[in-house]
Chain A
């Protein structure tokens, strides 16, 4: 366990430690669940539910995973629960379908220079692929941590990222050639 970890103090019921932890991580948890839920009200609620889990379960954190991995993993489950409570919840479709990688890489690189294009193409990814791109490039997490957070094998994380990458290249090249 990180020597600066607040979790031992939180486990002892220290509210000040909980507040510090909350202030350090709430924004990241909110950003993560908002990606999944697409609803700021629900995301705020799930963020606080996750923090309540931290308060209740801090004693069970044994340091086998990183603190943030543990936290995001709980947030992921809470977000899935919240989605299940929604009437229109539908299980994610098979997202491991690859795409043919036939676009020239140079076009895709040139296309990616346009932030608007990048945003458009990221939005076109399947949710599960987008989460992995987000956790990798925005949160800067290792593939093993992402696997733990999303409760999927490491191989699946790599495959989804590979497919996301192919789709992004294809999408960016196509937008670039149209512009």
Chain B
């Protein structure tokens, strides 16, 4: 390999030199070049910064999967091995459809009361729009709870559904931070704990 091609090859290997996954042979080759080529050395430093920033970015913005609930949902599929895959899928979508209808009905009722713009509620990153002035909660409603139960519970306080259900049946709820009922997260938490219609909840940061 001529020196120009070899340098290009080294340059291509740099990202994996930085993440530490090169073979020992490749690693020593790159190290040799870095010792004698200032521009490659600068690139290495830049890539290390990029790696650090990319990791920090992912760590802060990565959506967390609620593992317990995701596992329970998966386990239900595991426990019905006799079912054909297609059947499982149809049931899954049927449940999701029912859940979606439930949300829509609850949301429509709430919109009428709150006079909120439905377009805003249906927009993509809904939680972001509420983050500044609202406490946000992720919940799963009890499978025993009816639409009326959920509606009554939410209507009794200043809580509204802003998105959901996810594939795991999770919803995002929001309540204003200046609400008289929930002046802080403790009061909100206490209320959520008392609700029989709510099977699981987690306050979002």
Q: Are these two chains actual partners, yes or no?
A: yes
Select one of A30, A47, A137 contacting B55, CB under 8 A.
Answer: A137
Number of interface residues, chain A, beta carbon within 8 A: 47
Residues of A within 8 A of B15 (CB): 136-137, 143, 161, 165
The answer to whether B57 touches A119 (Cβ under 8 A) is yes
The answer to whether A140 touches B20 (Cβ under 8 A) is yes
Residues of B within 8 A of A109 (CB): 42, 45-46, 49
Chain A 18-30, CB-CB to B under 8 Å as 1, else 0, gives 1100110011001
Residues of A within 8 A of B112 (CB): none
CB contact list, B13-60 vs A, under 8 A: 13, 15-16, 18-22, 39, 42-43, 45-47, 49-51, 53-58
Number of interface residues, chain B, beta carbon within 8 A: 41
CA distance A44 to B49 in the complex (A): 31
CA distance A41 to B166 in the complex (A): 5
**Shortest CB distance A160–B (Å):** 10
A44 in contact with B167 given A105-B42, A105-B43, A118-B50 (CB within 8 Å) = yes
Q: Is A80 positioned at the interface, with any CB of B under 8 Å from its CB?
A: no
Select one of B12, B58, B92 contacting A31, CB under 8 A.
Answer: B58
Q: Which residue of B lies closest to A141 (CB)?
A: B21
CA distance A170 to B56 in the complex (A): 21
Q: Is A152 positioned at the interface, with any CB of B under 8 Å from its CB?
A: no
The interface-forming segment of A48-56, A70-78, A92-100 is A48-56
Known: A112-B50, A142-B21, A165-B47. 8 other contacts (CB 8 A): A15-B78, A42-B167, A109-B46, A112-B49, A115-B53, A122-B57, A137-B51, A145-B21
